[in-house]
Amino acid sequence: MTKSKSDNVVWHHATVTRERREKLNGHRSVILWFTGLSGAGKSSLAHAVEEHLYQSGCRTFVFDGDNVRHGLCADLGFSPEDRVENIRRVGEMAKLFLEAGVIALTAFISPFGADRARVRSLVPHGEFLEIFCDCPLEVCEERDVKGLYKRARAGEIKDFTGISSPYEIPRDPELVVHTGALSLEESVTEVIKFLRGRGVIG
């Protein structure tokens, strides 16, 4: 937990607890942390999983990498320092949604293992579920509808993950989805099967 700069801030314990919210919702709350290269299918998979969960009556919310940079993290760039702060903020927000009884899905490149580990440390064991969207770089480049890889290779974008900035592959993720080979529907099926196996949903 990040220490507050003020000595006058005291945590208030609510009477409506996370356990009561989970009971009302009919499912556990967890953080599903989708990580992988740009173009690996993180956002598509996270939103498709959310749609499936929503249709099943689950309380969900997707934190999308691009979307949070329009508001919560609009003041941040893509330097290593800003990337660290970006993930720190998202991690703290996801933790709040966990307490709200919501299944929080995040879709971020989150290239540094230390940053992902830091978010994991914010919550009890088993409540941060790292899902590695494993997709070869060449496939990600083929899918590059925004032309970002092309611009990065031309030197127009600095600190671009996979080209001029490293991506640290998760060492022991809870789930690996081979998004370079599987269809979106097949990938969703793998995630849902995983969540059932973990007892997150029935």
Catalytic residues: 110
Best CA proximity match to 167, nearest among 136, 127, 121: 136
- CA–CA separation, 87 vs 180, rounded Å? 25
CA distances, 141 to each of 16, 20, 40, 105, 112 (Å): 47, 45, 9, 24, 20
Could you tell me which residues come within 8 angstroms of residue 21 by beta carbon, excluding any fewer than 6 positions away?
29, 99, 100, 101
- Calpha distance 200→202 (Å, rounded): 7
Structural contact between residues 64 and 43, judged by C-beta atoms closer than 8 angstroms: yes
Round to whole Å and give the CA distance between 34 and 60: 15
CA torsion through residues 53, 65, 118, 162, sign: positive
Element counts in the chain: helices (H) and strands (E): 8, 5
